[in-house]
Structure 1
Amino acid sequence: MTQAPLPVVVSCGEPAGIGPEVAARAWAALAGEVPMVWLGDPRHLPKGVAAQVIDRPQQAADLSSDVLPVIARDFGPDAVPGTPDPAHAQHVIDMIALGVSLVRDGAASALCTAPINKKALKDGADFAYPGHTEYLAALGGVDDVVMMLASDQLRVVPATIHIALDQVPIQLTPERLRRVIETTHAGLRDRFGIKHPRLAIAGLNPHAGEGGTMGLQEEQWIAPLVSMMNDEGYTLTGPLPADTMFHAAARTRYDAAIAMYHDQALIPIKTLDFDKGVNVTLGLPFIRTSPDHGTAFDIAGKGLANPTSMIEAIRLAHRIAEAQ
């Protein structure tokens, strides 16, 4: 008898945001295609969602496809759309940790995380991490993880993430860029099945420094690092002017682009494929994806949230797990 595939577990994220509603709509869209289990307080799901509380993910296979399996926790107060409650903060954190435990214990195939609000977590539970990625790295016991934004049109990785722009030239070091390239290369090979990944490396400065007239980092150390790593067997191009890296013809020449800072990476993918972009964390000892959007407090509870990115995030998590 064929064993049922392990489900993707989906952490609830911020209950006052759009996470619960896009998760419910993703489950409805993926029923029969991707097994999933939601982690959170069932009271926070949209009204009318048929949910069934279970104790462990394996029980999801015994339920009808028109029932959302939920591993439930009592968060205390009801959720008010658009208004985060400090009393929910620790529960939100706990659901992320639970999801990681279930995947690492072999009870689930992958984790998909709904958006959190960092300020809400810090105010309510003194959350000590800049975001999901850093917390997941701590739970996984690893240091070198990268955030890849992926869609059918583009994969891109920012070498620095949630820092002020004036800090980028300080924190972007040869050692850091090397670790990002190594982690991205390994992730494309091990998670995406690309045997020989081709990576395009963006310059930091306009026109990739234009021979040192617009910045020196490219000539002083980025180009030498690219050359050194190519000698080691990597397939890298760059440093390239970022403004010419993302048109259709350019994107055919690489499997992923390494950008130097947050907006240099996120602007092109959100312009090309705003609704279908997925956040994939590479370097973790488990599979994790998330939709490429935030809590959207302004539209939470109004039925306006687009579930496409959540659908694609759950689907990609399942696809990666099935290919392992």
Structure 2
Amino acid sequence: MFKPIIAITAGDPAGVGPEIIKKALSEKEIKNICVPIPIGLNKKAIPGKHTPANDKHVVQSIKKALYLIKTGQADGLVTGPAAKSAFNGKGYTEFLANATGSKQVEMLMVSGRRKVLLLTRHIPLKTVSRNLSIKEISKSVELTVDFIKNYFIRQNHAPKVAFCGLNPHISDGGLVGNEESKIILPAIQSLIKQGINASGPWPAESVFMKSASAFDLIVCLYHDQAMLPLKLLSWKKIVNVSIGLPFIRTSPGHGTAYDIAGTGTAEYMPMMEAIKLAVYLTNQNIKNKIINYGCSGT
């Protein structure tokens, strides 16, 4: 039976990453579907204590994983939680984009059948509006729709894309902001002209209240607009997928959880889901030659 080779980095050794990875790798289900290469699991650290040395270890682990993929010794990547300070205040997404020379990388959250695109990521809430533009929104959604069509959707099915609004009550006719009419709606109209089945903007609560099968993609304007409802609906299943890299990369949809590190109580289901999704996507990639970077399993 073919098994893809998946590099799995521990993240911050003072967080829950090493614990949840060890738990996940002990499961027969994971052993049956891939050949894992754990990286950085045994680094000694004080649980819950973030240090610059730990940040350095995070980066070293990622660089090792990238080397394995580039030299054909691994097919895909799963990353454990790390502090943003390891990447100079950015995140894995931006670091990996820069390290691989990828011009456009998007953050897609997958939770069961729900797939949610974050148009902005780790930026202050007050700067969200000025980081949105018709052109960039269109580019982000186009790339994500292509990814969904390649990996998740049956052939000849046009993914249904729902846009959330930015302001309360989607600006209530311009009474509480105008981003919906000035930026979001024109972006939707542009996408429709390109043949993308987009709708909205809708109030975020209305979109997430619908069944998971109502839309193939939900587009959120900022980080917490996406993460809050997802964590309330199915926090154990959230997986972060980086779109636009020359290989598959996933991670569990949570942070370092320093407060429970070292207690042995960390929930490892999100890491299980991240590995399983990485395996599925990598298998699809190898089978259909969607992107070509890495080796071809065992």
Task: After TM superposition, give the deviation of residue 203 of structure 1 in Å.
Answer: 1.2
Q: Runs of 4 or more off by more than 6 Å in structure 1? A: none
Bigger helix fraction: 2
CA RMSD of aligned residues (A): 1.7
Task: After TM superposition, give the deviation of residue 80 of structure 1 in Å.
Answer: 1.4
Does the alignment pair 1:212 with 2:174? yes
Q: Work out whether residues 109 and 318 of structure 1, in 8 Å CA contact, stay in contact via their aligned partners in 2.
A: no
- What corresponds to 2:21 in structure 1? 23
TM-score (norm 1): 0.82
Q: Work out whether residues 199 and 237 of structure 1, in 8 Å CA contact, stay in contact via their aligned partners in 2.
A: yes
Measured in 2, the distance between the counterparts of 1:41 and 1:168 equals 36
- What corresponds to 1:54 in structure 2? none
Residue in structure 1 matching 2:140, options 180, 183, 189: 180
For structure 2, which runs of at least 5 residues remain unmatched after alignment?
Answer: 286-298
Residue in structure 2 matching 1:305, options 261, 266, 270: 266
Measured in 2, the distance between the counterparts of 1:230 and 1:194 equals 20
Q: Work out whether residues 188 and 194 of structure 1, in 8 Å CA contact, stay in contact via their aligned partners in 2.
A: no
Measured in 2, the distance between the counterparts of 1:86 and 1:243 equals 39
Pairs within 5 Å for 1:98-247? 98-119=64-85, 121=86, 127-128=87-88, 130-193=90-153, 195=155, 196-247=158-209
Q: Per-residue displacement from partner, 1:144-190 (whole Å, max 9, x unpaired)?
A: 21111111142111111111111011111112211221121122123
When residues 295 and 38 of structure 1 are mapped into structure 2, their CA distance, relative to the original with a 3 A threshold, is same
Partner SS state of residue 239, structure 1: strand
Which is bigger in relative contact order (C-alpha 8 A, separation at least 6)? 2
Task: After TM superposition, give the deviation of residue 193 of structure 1 in Å.
Answer: 4.4
Q: How many pairs are equivalent?
A: 281
Amino acid at match of 1:21: E
- What corresponds to 2:234 in structure 1? 273
Considering only CA atoms, is the larger Rg found in Structure 1 or Structure 2? 1
Q: Work out whether residues 153 and 272 of structure 1, in 8 Å CA contact, stay in contact via their aligned partners in 2.
A: no
% same residue: 36
- What corresponds to 1:257 in structure 2? 218
Task: After TM superposition, give the deviation of residue 228 of structure 1 in Å.
Answer: 2.1
TM-score (norm 2): 0.89
For structure 1, which runs of at least 5 residues remain unmatched after alignment?
Answer: 45-77, 122-126
